Amino acid sequence: MAVTQLKLVQDKAPDPNITTDPTRVVFDRWVFMFGLHQRRTKLDALRRQVINAALALYDQDLETILLAVDGMAAAPLADKPESMREAMREIDWFLGNAKRIEQCLRWNDRLRLQLEREQAAADAPQDDGPSRPEPTPEQVAAQREALRQMAARMAGRDMARGAAHG
């Protein structure tokens, strides 16, 4: 009887914290941008259905839907009653139709413009030209956090105390 020789696999196992499911990616961005508790906020059937419908509406353009989520995090809702603000920040409300998604994309445009202005002002003295090295993972995380904080400020939310419905 022949003995089978096993090969050593050199491929790294996929990171379980990184998903390729576009629905999960959108949901995770929403949780992050609104400062919700990751373990207590669930991707239920309704949220999954709405995210999938939004992705289908935009021909599976994940980036567009992610930009809409970022924009909703910056939505100026301070003039609305608290209960209305909470309802409007739910992913199933703002991804519920094309008109709302388009409004979120406009809010995202304002968010990105404001963030670019602030970063340009901060980088002005040390700008060393167009050749910048690739950002480190720490820098990418810091940029994401800066975007989240900017969105919260624009929306009139205090991220230090957390989201109202997380």
pLDDT band at 162 (very low <50, low <70, confident <90, very high): very low
Q: Indicate if the pLDDT at residue 63 is higher than 50.
A: yes
Interior angle at CA 106, CA 103 and CA 108, nearest 5: 110
Q: What is the SS3 assignment for 34?
A: coil
Q: What is the pTM of this model?
A: 0.72
Q: Indicate if the pLDDT at residue 16 is higher than 90.
A: no
| Per-residue 3-state assignment (H helix, E strand, C coil) for 109-136 | HHHHHHHHHHHHHHHHHHCCCCCCCCCC
Please indicate whether residue 50 or residue 127 has the higher confidence score (pLDDT). Answer: 50
**Predicted confidence (pLDDT) per residue in 94-137, tens digit:** 999 999 999 999 999 998 898 888 888 877 665 555 566 787 88
- Which positions ≥6 away from 98 have C-beta within 8 Å? 57
> What does the pLDDT read at residue 141?
82
